[in-house]
Structure 1
Amino acid sequence: MVSRRAGRLRRSVLGLGALLLALAGGLGAAHADEKDPGEIRFSVTTATPEGPDERRIFDFVAEPGEQIQDQVAVSNHGAGPVTFTMVTNDGIFTPMGKFDIRTSDQEPQDSGGWFEVQPTVDVPAGETVIVPFTITVPEGATPGDHPAGIVATVTSASTAAGPGVGVESRVGVRVNLRVPGEVTPSLALTDVKATYEPSWNPFAPGSVRVAYGVTNDGNLRVGAEQQAHVSGPFGIGDTTVDRGTEGVEELIPGTSRSTAFAVAGIWPVGPVTTEITVTPVPVSTGGAVDVPVEAPFEPVTVTVTTWAIPWVQILLLAAVAVLVIGLRDNRKRKKQRLEALLAKARAEGRAAAGTGDVDQEQGGATAPAPTAPATSSAGSTDRGDTAAGPDAPSSGA
């Protein structure tokens, strides 16, 4: 009986589980199949006249006055047709170190204005359209790197931002353009600062926080290989840190990047010298063209000094000094209290002894005198008394 009930209960639980799984699967499938008909999804890639190719970026070298012709592929991955606006502009880097181009409301100041491309392109749903473009290098173009980008943009309504507000979405391809001639790979260090950060453990060293800016003041895009050398007086805590190009993997001409890091193992023993050296290094972005650079890549060095004051150790010594002084004063007060108690006890002892002597002297003065033989009155027949008189004859009479 119990076995049959257990079997029915097991079958009921399994059936309920299968039902829940079926419902969950149906909801998941419905969610997976559901698409937003207004969603715009698209991509822009390098291309040949026949279609997208394997290049990741455009990498060109062109003399002043020369023209370059190429094309991009604009693909619409959405559910409806889209009209895209084609935009070109100068290349920039975001504060996070990502390549981008100037926004649409900013006029190009360099190679972003050297492009000719159709203003718009209509791309049906699920289709790809090849868009040709031409770059004409001006006659007076300066030697060096002139980064730019070509993007497709579309503006869509944003309900989250409020009515009447549009959101511009843009996707594009980077364009590296180098004009041959005398190139100068050069970096500058700015706002170099070093701050000592002590450890709260008085028996452990602290660290030096180093911050600085790196500016590409040459005409060639480069990375910045960085080295920090930190040393206390007489070489105490001498430490060298090689950072490679961390944080400054690429700088295009005229741009800057800020970076910061900590150098550990520095003891607070007074003035600490921090020497920062950055060296420009060639940058590879995966382009097809590799132009050798004959110019030297010269390092630049800046030295700053900061004071590493042992505040934690000073506080510890002050606490120890207060503790020692407190213990000494406490011992002194105990000794003084004991001496006072001993002096009081001696005084009380002397006082008690002095009171006993006085009482004994007073007792001897008032003690009764020994009883003397009584004298008889005149006419007494006592011989002793008769013999004692002054007129009595001596015994020899």
Structure 2
Amino acid sequence: MPVPPSPRRSGALLLAAATVATVLTCGAAAPAAADEPGWTAEPVAGSAPTAAKAGTRPYFYLAGTSGTVLEDRLALANTSDREHTITLRGADAYNTAAGAFAVRSAKPAAGGGSEGPVTGAGVWISFGKGATVKVPPRTRAVVPFTVTVPPGSPPGDHPAAVVATEAGREVGVRVHLRVGGPALAALTVEDVSVRGKGAAASVTYCLVNRGNVALVPELAISAEGTLGKVAGRSIRTLPVEVLPGQRVELTEPWPGAPVFDRVALTLTVTAPGGARATASASAWFVPWGIAGATGLGLLCLGAVAATALLLVRKRRIRAGDGPGPSPHGSAVPAEAPAPEHELTGAPR
């Protein structure tokens, strides 16, 4: 997925006073709703080509080579009538099992340690002395931060986020960080299976990003049955971005599945950068109600046929037993064999 660049700087940064939040008085801001905390966090408006007319950015985009320092700015807007004290930190990002973008939590785990230790790009993010910001009512604070890319960092995408926290509420803003170097787009499709039947059928599968850049894949499904071609799914973009090294489990509706057939499925997944993968699976579609009734009928027919064969066999056995005793209780004498004549050639 093309990502719009944002203003960035590399090299050493002199942040003498930049670590102190710049507080600006907000205009006539609308009062916050009752269920809202009264503050927001978002990137400072930039001039990205795909940004909205107002210049807003949905996330941070930073790029540079290993060993450089990048910078950007976060805007905290207080729309309420009281002061808010907000804590800022960097966090690693990952995909949930369903493919959503998520960040590691900083809350301690029940058994000690950290529920989401910062070991990736999240630890590269620093707010310096501005990690805790007091935002007066109806004001907007602009907080600079830096991203220090360690020397020798591998090339590719390093998912991270800036997280703002107050009173247990966290707001994360994605940081799309790319380290310069060769980009590898690679993925695999695994664990393909079919669930349901008919219009309620679906195909479940796993996508694994084997490369070093985030991918937004496209999926196509083709199907071939023993009774002929089966309707699959035309190519479409999946509503998920798979981060490097992540594995997501997805389900694709398949309303064209047959009611009765054996089908061979082929899933083809592609992504920008030349990534392509295929996987196959087979599935039986049997209307079990009809199959059960048919099976019961065949079973009954088989029982009738077996009984008939048994009766025929018994009759044949009785016919081969020979004559029984006479009505007067004496045995019927056996018929005497015919006399044999010796052939001597002499006339008699």
Normalising by the smaller structure, the TM-score range is 0.5 to 0.7
Matched to 1:108, the amino acid is V
Q: Quote how far apart the aligned CAs of 1:298 are.
A: 3.1
d(CA) in 2 for partners of 1:269, 1:45: 53
**Any unmatched runs of 5+ in structure 2?**
1-30, 47-53, 108-115, 302-348
Distance 1:253 1:35, change over 3 A: closer
Partner of 2:288: 311
Q: When the two structures are superposed, what TM-score results if normalisation uses the length of structure 2?
A: 0.65
Residue 43 of structure 2 aligns with an amino acid whose one-letter code is T
- Distance change >3 Å, CA 146–CA 35, structure 1 → 2: closer
Do the aligned residues in 1 keep the contact of 2:232 with 2:257 (CA within 8 Å)? no
Q: How does 1:1-397 map to 2 (within 5 A)?
A: 40-47=37-44, 54-95=56-97, 97-105=99-107, 106-117=116-127, 118-155=130-167, 168-195=168-195, 197=197, 208-233=201-226, 236-247=228-239, 249-267=240-258, 270-281=261-272, 296-315=273-292, 317=294
- What is the CA-CA distance between 1:81 and the residue it aligns to? 0.9
Once the 2 structures are TM-superposed, how far is the Cα of residue 92 of structure 1 from its aligned partner?
2.3
How far the C-alpha of 1:100 sits from its partner, in A, is 3.0
SS class of match (1:100): strand
Question: Any conservation in 2 of the 1:237–1:265 contact (CA below 8 Å)?
Answer: no
Q: Does the 8 A contact of 1:196 with 1:307 survive in 2?
A: no
The structural deviation recorded for 1:197 is: 2.0
Greater Cα radius of gyration, structure 1 or 2:
1
Asked if the contact 1:230/1:263 (under 8 Å) is kept, the reply is: no
Q: CA deviation at 1:53?
A: 5.6
Deviations 1:224-268 (A, max 9, x none): 11111122115x242231251234x31111222222234334445
Could you tell me how far apart the structure 1 residues matched to 2:124 and 2:32 are?
A: 44
Q: 1:97 to 1:207 in 2, by over 3 A?
A: closer
- Find the aligned partners of 1:34 and 1:253 in 2 and give their Cα distance: 38
Q: How far off its partner does 1:119 sit?
A: 2.1
1: CA distance, partners of 2:260 / 2:126: 63
Q: Could you tell me the percent identity over the aligned residues?
A: 27
Shift of the alpha carbon at 1:80?
1.1
**Separation in 2 of the partners of 1:172 and 1:260?**
27
Amino acid in structure 1 at the alignment position of 2:269: V
Paired residue type of 1:245: T
Q: Which ranges in structure 1 are unaligned for 5 or more consecutive residues?
A: 1-32, 156-167, 199-205, 282-295, 325-397
Query: 1:271 Cα shift?
Result: 2.9
- Give the aligned CA root-mean-square deviation in angstroms: 3.2
Are the aligned partners of 2:45 and 2:56 in contact in 1 as well (CA < 8 Å)? no
Q: Is the 8 A contact 1:218 1:253 kept in 2?
A: yes
Contact 1:48 1:71 (C-alpha < 8 Å) held by counterparts: no
Distance verdict in 2 for CA 1:312–1:230, change over 3 Å: farther
Cα shift at 1:88: 0.9
Give the distance between the partners of 1:243 and 1:73, measured in 2 at CA: 39
